[in-house]
Amino acid sequence: MTQVLRKLVTFDEFVAKYPDNTGKRYELHDGVIVEMSQPTGDHEEIVVFLSTKITLEYSRLGLRYGIPKTVLVKPLENESAYSPDLLLLNLTNLVNEPLWKKESTVTQAASIPLVIEVVSTNWRDDYLKKYADYEEMGIPEYWIVDYGALGGREFIGKPKQPTILVCSLEEGEYRVSKFRGDDRIQSPTFPELNLTAEQIFRAGTVS
């Protein structure tokens, strides 16, 4: 049997090469460069909808938050770097981020009140790898938006149905709450956010 060995790269090597001029998106997973597939229209409509609703909420509350276009999240314990579908930044903490000015990369949980991944065909990354790394980093809130019910049955049940998992950090571990249909999302970061799972799945067709 032939074993194919992939050359591992460091984070510094990764950011020196990517993004390139191809317009493609990449992440670094334990030293392996992963090309991100082009998202579907439904995926992007959900990202736009959530970005709009969350921006309205933190603006209403007068919080110095922001949603950037291309920022990397780097766990300190491994050679990984993620480009989340939606990353909420605490702008006041960026002065403490050593990689921010040069590489637009955040490494501290204090900079990341909320991170959201909208599930695609590589669902295991969202449910397993990113879940573990975001938890290890101490990111206080992580949403997994599985609008296509792609995740494993152990995560979204049987029969599979569209589900949003809100993972809230408690004593260093995520507590997972699941929302479907007309369930109102319970967000520790935005407790007054008035959104149901179905509104998110419908990607903004409901105002």
Separation between Cα atoms, residue 81 and residue 9, nearest integer Å: 11
Name the one residue in this structure whose structure tokens are 């314990």.
77
Q: Which stretches of the chain score pLDDT less than 70?
A: 1-6, 19-22, 204-207
H or E segment to which residue 24 belongs: none
Is the Cβ–Cβ distance between 24 and 35 less than 8 Å?
yes
Separation between Cα atoms, residue 92 and residue 173, nearest integer Å: 25
Separation between Cα atoms, residue 116 and residue 87, nearest integer Å: 6
Q: Output the pLDDT for position 7.
A: 76
Q: Output the pLDDT for position 20.
A: 67
For the entire predicted model, the pTM comes to: 0.92
- Give the helix ranges, DSSP H, for the chain: 11-17, 41-60, 100-103, 123-124, 130-137, 153-156, 197-201
Q: Output the pLDDT for position 167.
A: 98
Torsion angles phi and psi, residue 82, rounded to 5 = -110, 150
